[in-house]
Structure 1
Amino acid sequence: MKWYLKVVKENYANFTGRARREEYWMFVLFNMIFAFAIAFVSIGLGLMTELPLLSSLYFIYVLGIIVPSLAVAVRRLHDTGKSGWFFFVALIPVVGGIWLLVLLITEGDKGTNAYGPDPKEAVPADVIA
């Protein structure tokens, strides 16, 4: 949960620097949990009250989370030594999505790279605990 909050609060639109695999994948996990929960609740409320406005809660959440999702993905690509523009490799049919997934799963560069210092070397004590 703290990784999700770190991305949303501290790095909302931060496209510079690097993000560890753990930060990225924990953000993705909690983002999916929240998205499914909000979709379930908003659809349920929309059906119970027959007000289509309530079913738009999910879309409001998605609009609010697009920027931090892109930012953490770009910082994750930076950790592997790739430019954030590599995110667009996903637009290549079939192979692109697989290639992007491999890039996001790959361990980051050891030490400093062109995008900043290794985030594993300077892990704050409160994140480890």
Structure 2
Amino acid sequence: MKWFILAMKNSFNFTERARRKEYWMFILITSIISIALSIFETSVGLEFTEDVGIFSTLFSIILIIPSISVTVRRLHDIGKSGWWVLINLIPIIGQIVLLVFTIKDSTPGTNVYGPNPKEVV
């Protein structure tokens, strides 16, 4: 949960680096909360349509900027420009490339985007 809160605090920080752990813990906690909200909405009947719930929609809207931010900072950690996040717009291949980028280990030492967060800790 600590890493999710850290990612949320850095929601508007698009300049530094994010460790793999920060990125993947953010994705994990976001997924768990989304699943829990979906189950809750289905059981209570708080859905706009069959698949779209009120709380899930609000949660997704709230997480747009933090998700982009943590992904850009993750790309910075491997030495890539944040603009690489746009590769996600290419169907299938874009998602695979972005997945490979987010799995890669950090660039050792300091790069253009700052010091390695692993070494700072």
- TM-score using structure 2 length: 0.90
RMSD (CA atoms):
1.7
Q: After superposition, what is the alpha-carbon deviation per residue over 1:65-112, rounded to whole angstroms, capped at 9, x for unaligned?
A: 111111000000000000111011122233211111111100110000
Q: Which amino acid aligns with 1:119?
A: P
2:63 — aligned with what?
Answer: 65
CA distance in 1, matches of 2:6, 2:44: 30
What is the percentage of aligned positions where both structures have the same residue?
47
- TM-score using structure 1 length: 0.85
Deviation (angstroms), 1:40: 1.4
SS at 2:118 equivalent: coil
Larger Rg: 1
Q: Which amino acid aligns with 1:114?
A: V
1:88 — aligned with what?
Answer: 86
CA distance in 2, matches of 1:119, 1:62: 28
- Which ranges of structure 2 fall in alignment gaps of 5 or more residues? none
2:119 — aligned with what?
Answer: 121
Deviation (angstroms), 1:13: 1.6
2:34 — aligned with what?
Answer: 35
Question: After the TM superposition, which parts of structure 1 deviate over 6 Å for at least 4 consecutive aligned residues?
Answer: none
CA distance in 2, matches of 1:44, 1:93: 33
Q: Which amino acid aligns with 1:102?
A: V
